[in-house]
Every structure is written in structure tokens, then in C-alpha cells.
Amino acid sequence: MMAEPMVKIRSVRKRFGPLEVLKGISLDVLAGGVVCVVGPSGSGKSTLLRCVNRLETLDSGRIWVDGDLIGYREQDEKLHMLRPAELSRQRQDIGMVFQRFHLFPHRTALENVMEGPVTVKRASKAEARQRAAELLERVGLADRAHHYPAQLSGGQQQRVAIARSLAMSPKLMLFDEPTSALDPELVQEVLAVMRDLAGSGMTMMVVTHEMGFAREVGDHLVFIDGGVIVEQGHPREVLADPRHERFRTFLGQVR
């Protein structure tokens, strides 16, 4: 008997005004799996990730993370939207790393990583400080713990952002093109941290244009275009022999 997926996405639709960005997306992410989502700009990749974390509301469809229906509770066969406090508790299990780092500029790297556990989970400062120091060491920034964001490179800031998400002990990590805002020479240091996370068994959804990373680390690759899944499968297989012309054209542009 197969285990339930960590993430279960069913018939998700999302519209912004007259533009339907997601057109009935269904997708499973297994526990410990790394799903890489690729596609052209405006295809709906980032919107899909934001729907998983309930940063966008769905027009229709449902999303479950570790068995919990995201954004709603079901009662008497009806859906009731969660109150903000309930939604906040759900989000604690889902870490998200954006293109931009969104660090607090007036706080050190250590303080940025401590912030969530202290303010959201009510952890003691001593406990949060020790955990933050461990996480900064994990992402290779133990010697930058007392530096402010302005004193860090883009790659270092993004690694602090990853450590900050990990500090909440999430069940799922979402990465929305985490290297797209970085200079080319800084990309690999961020990807190395993500490889380490994948190797440790973290469940991950990664919107990326880094095909090498998808091929090497991903368990499943999804190509989205025009709000629908055009092609999917094991990254090495679909990248080596894409079936759809649209995917072949896309790969020719990003390789």
C-alpha cells in the first residue's frame, strides 16, 4: 500500500482578473521527494508555489500538505476558510524561500534566523540562538553570524534566508527561483545547500531554471506552460528525450 503524498494538489485553478494563470493543476509530491517545476515566465510556476503556502487563494481545487487541507477546514461536507491564526499555524510547517531574500536589514544573520522561533513558536532566546547558530553552520555561514545583510553577498543572504526557513522545522520547503537574483558565481553556493537539504530527506518543491540541478537532484520534473502541466517525469528521462515540441523549444532556450 503506497503512502499518502506529502503534498497533494488537485484541480487547482487560479485567476487574476480575466487571466486564468492555473488551469486545473494536479500534482503529488512524495515525502522526501524533490519536485522541480520549470517553464517560461508567466506560465504559473510561482503562482502554484504561492497557492501551496496559501499566499494566494484558490478559485477552485484543493491542496493538502501532510494530510492537512490548506486554507480550509471541512465540516458537514462544506469548506470553511481558516481564521488567520489557524492559517498561520499551518504555514509554520511550510518553509518558503523567495527570489529576493527579505531579510531584516537591522538584524544580524543570527537574529534573522532566530526571529521566527522566538516570535511565532515562543522559543526561548537561548534555545533559538543555539538552533540559529547550528543552522548557520549548516549553510556555511558560521563566521558571518554577526554580520548584517548589507555586509553579506547575495549568495550569503540567500543562505541566511534558507536557514531562517529551516529554523521553523518545516515539513516542506518551497523554493521560488532562489538563484535567479544572484550573480552567476554565487549560484553554486546556494545550490550546494539545496543539494544538502535534498540529501537529508527534506521534501522540496523547487521552481528553477537550473536544469543541471533538476537533473542531478530532482526526483520528478514538471514542465508548466500556459497554466497547465505539459510534460512531467523523471528529470533525466524527460530532459534527455522530451516528448512535446513546446518543451523541446523551451529547453533549447534555457540550455
Q: Where does the pLDDT of residue 80 fall: very low under 50, low under 70, confident under 90, or very high at 90 and above?
A: confident
User: What integer pLDDT is reported at residue 67 of this predicted model?
Assistant: 92
Extract the C-alpha cell encoding 236. 533525466
Extract the C-alpha cell encoding 159. 543562505
Q: Please state, as a whole number, how many other Cβ atoms lie within 10 Å of the Cβ of residue 185.
A: 9
- Going by C-alpha positions, the residue among 230, 234, 235 that lies closest to residue 213 is 235
Q: Where does the pLDDT of residue 2 fall: very low under 50, low under 70, confident under 90, or very high at 90 and above?
A: low
| Block residue for cell numbers 542531478 | 216
Full-prediction pTM beyond 0.75? yes
- Going by C-alpha positions, the residue among 105, 194, 166, 109 that lies closest to residue 143 is 109
CA 55, CA 70: separation in Å to the nearest integer?
A: 11
Give the three-class secondary structure for 155: helix
71 Cβ contact partners less than 8 Å away, ≥ 6 residues apart: 54, 57, 58, 63, 81, 82, 87, 90
User: What integer pLDDT is reported at residue 79 of this predicted model?
Assistant: 82
User: What integer pLDDT is reported at residue 135 of this predicted model?
Assistant: 97
